[in-house]
Structure 1
Amino acid sequence: MSNKIHHINSGAELDALFRSTTYVAVDFFADWCGPCKVIAPQYQALADKHAIPGVLAFAKVNVDHAQDAARTYGVSAMPTFMFFKEGKQVAVNGHKMIQGANVPDLRAAAEKLGGLAKKRQ
């Protein structure tokens, strides 16, 4: 199993990741969520391809375990993907968030972030 995904258990852990990494893609998910399970391998593959330590991180936040983080970002549907630059939520390819198991939009956002990360590396 790859260690390219950061498993976040609290808002404080997410904040620490934001402080240490320029770009962060976050998957807000739940264990009981069917679409979350369907898209998880795609998210893992994107992390394996694009993650660059300190520059681009991929995180998973279980909304049942890290309710504070889910509340902070107003997550109301799973999965929800959000993108951050220097700790602030940003739009990637016109999306501030992607709700649902939308593989094409998620892939496009990860490719965009991966390109930006490579430029910063």
Structure 2
Amino acid sequence: MSESPNEIDEIRAQKREELASQLNGDETADESEEEASVPGEPIHVNGSDELQDAISTYDVVLVDFYADWCGPCKMLEPTVESLAASTDAAVAKVDIDRNQQLAQQYQVRGVPTLQLFSDGDAVEQVVGVRDESTLRSLIEQYL
């Protein structure tokens, strides 16, 4: 989790570059936005600002609300990591014990809860463990 500030800084820097290109009238700005590199591993989010940055940076974001003590969350972790590595969606992880306000904001009543965002809007919520193909199909509906 100590890497999360660096990941967020990289996202912010990339977004600043894209915005600067757009302001300068650079025609490649749209191309770079479409090809914004999605992290190959989950982004560990700590706080509302970091989650908003991720949601606004990427077109499709799957947010895994989890707890360290949760057995089903541990079972789901390899699936979440695989989706991060193999889909064009960004994957974020939110520890509900460290981010209780975020959990309340997104009405997380049980863990694991997966919230899918598309173009900044919450579009789907799944509670409980699901297999990778089900989650991949859900993500692909919004890509």
- TM-score, normalised to structure 2's length? 0.66
Q: 1:107 aligns with which of 109, 130, 133?
A: 133
Q: Which has the larger radius of gyration?
A: 2
Matches of 2:40 and 2:118, distance apart in 1:
21
Q: Comparing both chains, which one has the higher relative contact order based on Cα–Cα distances under 8 Å and sequence gaps of 6 or more?
A: 1
Match among 45, 52, 63 for residue 8 of structure 1? 45
Which has the larger helix fraction?
2
Per-residue deviation at 1:108?
Answer: 2.3
Structure-2 separation of matches of 1:99 and 1:115:
18
CA offset at residue 11 of structure 1? Answer: 1.2
- Cα deviation, residue 4, structure 1: 1.8
- Cα offset, 1:25, TM superposition: 0.5
Cα drift, residue 85 of structure 1: 1.0
How many residues of Structure 1 are paired with residues of Structure 2 in the alignment? 105
Which runs of no fewer than 5 residues in structure 2 stay unpaired?
A: 1-38
Tell me: CA distance 1:102–1:116, structure 2 relative to 1, closer, same or farther (3 Å).
Answer: closer
Aligned to 2:60: 23
1:45 aligned onto 2:85: no
SS in 1 for 2:116: strand
Q: CA deviation at 1:19?
A: 1.2
Return the offset for 1:72.
0.7
Equivalent position to 2:95, from 62, 67, 73: 62
Unmatched tracts of structure 1, length 5 or more: 91-95
> What TM-score, normalized by structure 1, do the two folds share?
0.78
| Cα drift, residue 58 of structure 1 | 0.6
Check whether the contact 1:10–1:67 (CA below 8 A) recurs between aligned residues. no
Q: Give the ranges of 4+ consecutive aligned residues of structure 1 lying more than 6 Å apart after TM superposition.
A: none
Task: Identify the residue that residue 93 of structure 1 maps to in structure 2.
Answer: none
Report the Cα distance in structure 1 between the residues aligned to 2:49 and 2:122, rounded to whole angstroms.
Answer: 16
Q: Which amino acid aligns with 1:98?
A: V
Q: CA RMSD, aligned part only?
A: 1.8
